């Protein structure tokens, strides 16, 4: 269980609730007239520079899932139940994170690899995807908030399935629907997509029966064939455009306008390279199908490129999302509501580069988390923008976690972990962020610094190798849907 301290200040309040679920409310706000923002709160422009303007009034609620949960994914049904995949366990909370229950799904394996969870926002179907060994993936689904499950195996064929199984869903397009009509007349309400990588690249398939079978698809060609086909999440826009992000040096997306029958490729952000080792970039789409692609640039900041024509063209001059004070970032994820209203999360460090920090090879550290030393601490950040489509957008960033999520390096390449103090592969490859039907933001992450580590200001990397499944969600503040307006804090019982 994470040990988060209790402290009260003008702009920072941590309240520890004595409930069965051990829920913390971490509230971050500022007076409307205050321009000198407190520590850990930033308002920045498209270059990461400070702006003289008010911070959005935001509060976030912390919930301890109670299970190990590296590489977490999260989803919220229309009933308000939160689902979190913690390795082989699907965890559910229907009381705003005060308590969590294990929904057994159909998997009773002692261990599984690369879990993925997805909640279809149109149908409320919950998907639990588990890789069993290297040849078979089980895809299970529930239509009753996780009480009952059905499922089928997906055999990846004679070439082993390596990594990064992902599932998503979205609207049918006219072209895709007509093509699928050749196969069946019983087409599920939404298209369901399943992607994974083999050594040859990314393989993506489309299901027309709600995820029971995946009979259409195959390898996606282009830049995605490099780096073994590692990729980010599947994102689908309201117009049916589906996006997948390959892990390559130049920020790249592949997209399909016909429900996965064919794919195109676009590159962007040539002014900002990506570091090596690197992790996934991600795409968010808003209600008008504008797309926002985010990644970690060569200077270790989080950058964004926008597409106003549903993926056909992208900005080549990137926008910096993270404040310049954050000199190292990893695991970015994004979701969007109405046009220009986005939320982004990532792990970041503000350790001052002028201190002359050295990496583990005793060389000057460039901010790459893979080579960070024991005097570097990573925290969870959440960034909002309500005008992300403006020529000069503003970004409101909060260091949400009061104690580090990780101390020391974060392994970004499973074949080359530069270890300091026990295995630094504890956080694995990504976190997750999604919004619910009201535009409330939920973030899933694995916390490496818990209990004594969280309470000790002198904690070391050796103390920071947990992987506790954890959630922050918006307690109060602006919804990402403009019509909802300002959201009020959930009233808790107990």
**pTM reported for the whole predicted model:** 0.91
- Kindly tell me the number of DSSP H helices and DSSP E strands found in the chain: 2, 33
**CATH architecture, range 36-54+65-487:** 6 Propeller (2.120)
Indicate the domain borders of the chain: 36-54+65-487
Residue corresponding to tokens 């990504």: 430
**How far separated are the first and last CA of the chain, in Å rounded?**
19
Per-residue model confidence as pLDDT tens for the chain (494 residues): 444 432 222 223 332 222 333 444 454 443 333 357 888 999 999 999 999 999 999 999 999 999 999 999 999 999 999 999 999 899 999 999 999 999 976 655 545 668 999 999 999 999 999 887 766 788 999 999 999 999 887 766 656 666 788 999 999 998 877 776 666 667 899 999 999 887 778 999 999 999 999 888 888 987 677 666 789 999 999 999 999 999 988 999 999 999 999 999 999 998 888 898 889 999 999 999 999 999 999 999 999 999 999 999 999 999 999 999 999 999 999 999 999 999 999 999 997 655 556 665 666 788 999 988 888 999 999 999 999 999 999 999 999 999 999 999 999 887 677 665 557 889 999 999 999 999 999 999 999 999 999 999 999 999 999 999 999 999 999 999 999 999 987 654 43
Helix (H) or strand (E) holding 118: strand 113-119
Structure tokens at 73: 């994914």
CA–CA distance, 37 with 45 (Å, rounded to integer):
15
CB of 342 within 8 A of CB of 292? yes
Longest dimension (CA), the chain: 65
88, 214, 290, 298, 317 from 273: Cα distances, Å: 36, 35, 23, 5, 12
Residue 42, H or E segment? strand 41-44
DSSP state of 494: -
CB atoms within 10 A of CB 218: 9
């Amino acid at each position: 269980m994470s040990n988060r301290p209790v402290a009260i200040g003008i702009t920072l309040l941590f309240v520890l609730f004595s409930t069965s679920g051990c829920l913390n409310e971490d509230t971050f706000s500022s007076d409307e007239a205050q321009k000198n923002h407190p520590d850990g709160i930033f308002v920045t422009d498209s270059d990461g520079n400070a702006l003289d303007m008010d911070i959005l009034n935001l509060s976030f609620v912390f919930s301890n899932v109670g299970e190990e949960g590296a590489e977490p994914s999260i989803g919220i049904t229309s009933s308000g139940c939160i689902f979190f995949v913690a390795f082989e366990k699907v965890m559910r909370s229907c009381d705003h994170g005060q308590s969590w229950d294990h929904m057994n799904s159909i998997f009773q394996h002692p261990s599984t690899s690369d879990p993925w969870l997805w909640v279809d926002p149109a149908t409320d179907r919950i998907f639990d995807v588990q890789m069993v060994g290297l040849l078979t993936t089980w895809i299970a689904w529930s239509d009753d908030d996780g009480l009952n499950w059905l499922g089928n195996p997906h055999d990846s064929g004679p070439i082993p399935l390596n990594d990064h199984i992902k599932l998503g869903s979205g609207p049918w397009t006219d072209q895709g629907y007509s093509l699928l009509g050749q196969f069946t007349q019983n087409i599920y309400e939404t298209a369901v997509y399943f992607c994974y990588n083999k050594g040859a690249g990314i393989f993506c398939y489309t299901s027309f029966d709600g995820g029971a079978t995946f009979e259409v698809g195959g390898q996606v060609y282009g830049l995605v064939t490099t780096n073994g086909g590692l990729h980010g999440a599947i994102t689908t826009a309201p117009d049916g455009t589906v996006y997948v992000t390959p892990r390559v040096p130049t920020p790249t997306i592949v997209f399909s306008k016909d429900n996965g029958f064919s794919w195109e490729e676009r590159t962007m952000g040539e002014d900002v390279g990506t570091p090596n080792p690197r992790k996934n970039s991600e795409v968010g789409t808003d209600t008008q199908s504008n797309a926002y692609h985010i990644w970690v640039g060569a200077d270790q900041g989080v950058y964004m490129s926008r597409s106003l024509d549903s993926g056909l063209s992208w900005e080549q001059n990137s926008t910096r999302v993270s404040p310049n004070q954050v000199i190292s970032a990893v695991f970015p994820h994004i979701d969007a509501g109405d046009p220009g209203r986005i939320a982004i999360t990532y792990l970041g460090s503000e350790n001052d580069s002028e201190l002359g920090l050295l990496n583990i090879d005793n060389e000057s550290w460039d901010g790459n988390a893979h080579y960070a030393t024991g005097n570097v601490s990573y925290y969870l950040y959440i960034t909002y923008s309500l005008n992300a489509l403006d020529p000069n957008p503003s970004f409101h960033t909060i260091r949400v976690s009061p104690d580090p999520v990780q101390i020391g390096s974060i392994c970004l390449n499973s074949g080359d972990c530069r270890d300091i103090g026990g295995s630094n592969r504890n956080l694995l490859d990504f976190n997750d962020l999604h919004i619910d039907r009201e535009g409330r933001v939920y973030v899933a992450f694995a916390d490496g610094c818990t209990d004594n580590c969280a309470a000790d200001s002198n904690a070391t990397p050796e103390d920071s190798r947990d992987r506790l499944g954890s959630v922050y969600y918006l307690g109060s503040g602006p919804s990402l849907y403009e019509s909802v307006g300002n959201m009020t804090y959930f009233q808790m019982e107990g």
